[in-house]
Structure 1
Amino acid sequence: MKKLIIIPAFNESVNIANTVKEIEKKAPEFDYVVINDCSKDSTLDVLKEKHINYINLPVNLGIGGAVQTGYKYAFENGYDVAVQVDGDGQHNPAFLDKLCDALVNDNADMVIGSRFIENEGFQSTFMRRVGIMYFTKIIHWLTKATITDPTSGFRMANRKVIEMFAKDYPRDYPEPESVVCLLKNNFKVVEVPVQMKARQGGESSIKLWDSVYYMIKVSLAIFVECSRKHKENK
């Protein structure tokens, strides 16, 4: 299979070279592309200096737009599998084979790397864990599926999902909304236990107020997604 790692990056000059180095060391069978989301720091300079494969966005599209750019790249270049690995060093590429095995052996459309099945490694901050539990409950209420780590960006998709997300993908904080979209369209989503690390450098772009906004906005987006699917089925 042709396998691609999508690495969205915004102001990740401190982390991006080490992230790519870890991928090349631990997952050499995967191709990769960094989506530089119009970073304001020296991320682009690092990508050029280290001869890293990248796409440079001329304007900031946000995480959803950056990841969708990666899916478009994967679809247009004939990849069978695409996996998101964040540029901040939190996702361990040593677990990529585990995700790929689940994708094939479980006949899944998407596999999510979850921190909360075995509760090992970095578990995120308390407030974010509260938010994750909140989205787990909403998703279960709407779809009857239990997704323990719905905000995880460490996720692998097959060709069908690549094609779908290349055409349409949530723009802001897309992880929970995209999971609901897949479940409501009868795609198979499974989780496997992984261990994540704390951010390896720099600062998260999501602050306390952003977290409150995130929960409200994504909740509304999830309900709209469910409503849209219900209308399409009538």
Structure 2
Amino acid sequence: MKTLVMIPCYNEEENIERVVGRLARVCPDVDYLIINDCSTDHSREICDKNGFSYISLPVNLGIGGGVQSGYLYAVENGYDITVQMDGDGQHDPAYLKALIAPVEAGELDMSIGSRFITKDGFQSSALRRLGINIISVLIHMLTGKKVRDTTSGFRACGRALTEFYAYNYAQDFPEPEAIVAAVCGGYRVGEVPVVMEERMGGVSSIRSFKSAYYMIKVCLSLVVYRMTCGKRIRRKS
């Protein structure tokens, strides 16, 4: 199937060449699109120098707006499967085929790459794992769906969910909220085991001293999102 790998990029000058290079070596038959979210470093210059496929947003939209731009691009260009893969090098394209498989087979609408099934590779800090577990429990309470790796940005979607996200994507805490939106919209969500790596370079958008605050905010946001998701969701007119 025609597949697009979306790579959100904000100040990833230390990583983006290696990320695209590894993707091209391992999965040369897929298309990719770097979504440069108004980076203030040399990310755009690196994309130009290497002839990378990218779009550059005129203003910084954050991870939610950036990824939604990718979904819109996928819809407009007729892609069957979209894959979100972070630009920091944590996601190994060697698992791309396994991630896509249940979507390609029609078993899932969204397949999430989870580091917590086999518990191999980089597992994040203890504080972040605690927060992810709490978010997992909350999502299960709100939707009845059990998802272990709720903040994983390594995920594949089929055509129907791609179009849904192109017009209904969460902005504040997109990874967990996107799960709630998909389940509430009647889409099938599941996980496949992957092994993740530590960030190659640069700085994460979620700093360690903010993790507890982030967890509280995302939990409140999920509750509000679940209560209002029927009003938020809209189809393409």
TM-score band by shorter chain is over 0.9
- Give the unaligned 5+ runs of structure 1: none
| Residue 106 of structure 1, CA deviation | 5.5
Structure 2 equivalent of residue 4 of structure 1: 4
Structure 2 equivalent of residue 88 of structure 1: 88
Aligned-residue identity in percent: 48
Structure 2 equivalent of residue 167 of structure 1: 167
The change in CA–CA distance for 1:46 and 1:230 in structure 2 (over 3 A counts) is: closer
Q: What residue identity is the alignment partner of 1:195?
A: V
Question: Is the Cα–Cα contact under 8 Å of residues 104 and 158 in structure 2 kept in the other structure?
Answer: no
Can you list the C-alpha shifts for 1:15-47, whole angstroms capped at 9, x where unaligned? Answer: 001000011011112100000000111111111
Question: Is the Cα–Cα contact under 8 Å of residues 8 and 36 in structure 1 kept in the other structure?
Answer: yes
Q: TM (normalized to structure 1)? A: 0.95
Q: What residue identity is the alignment partner of 1:103?
A: V
Q: TM (normalized to structure 2)? A: 0.94
Question: Is the Cα–Cα contact under 8 Å of residues 7 and 34 in structure 1 kept in the other structure?
Answer: yes
CA distance in 1 between counterparts of 2:38 and 2:100 reads: 30
* Structure 1 residues 66-145: aligned runs within 5 Å: 66-105=66-105, 107-145=107-145
CA distance in 1 between counterparts of 2:32 and 2:160 reads: 19
Question: Is the Cα–Cα contact under 8 Å of residues 90 and 198 in structure 1 kept in the other structure?
Answer: yes
1:155 aligns with 2:155: yes
Question: Is the Cα–Cα contact under 8 Å of residues 113 and 191 in structure 1 kept in the other structure?
Answer: yes
Can you list the C-alpha shifts for 1:181-227, whole angstroms capped at 9, x where unaligned? Answer: 11112210010000000001111122134323322222222112221
Question: Is the Cα–Cα contact under 8 Å of residues 173 and 214 in structure 1 kept in the other structure?
Answer: no
CA distance in 2 between counterparts of 1:154 and 1:11 reads: 19
- Give the unaligned 5+ runs of structure 2: 233-237
The change in CA–CA distance for 1:220 and 1:20 in structure 2 (over 3 A counts) is: same
- Partner-residue secondary structure (3-state), 1:107: coil
Q: What residue identity is the alignment partner of 2:172?
A: D
Structure 2 equivalent of residue 60 of structure 1: 60
- Partner-residue secondary structure (3-state), 1:215: helix
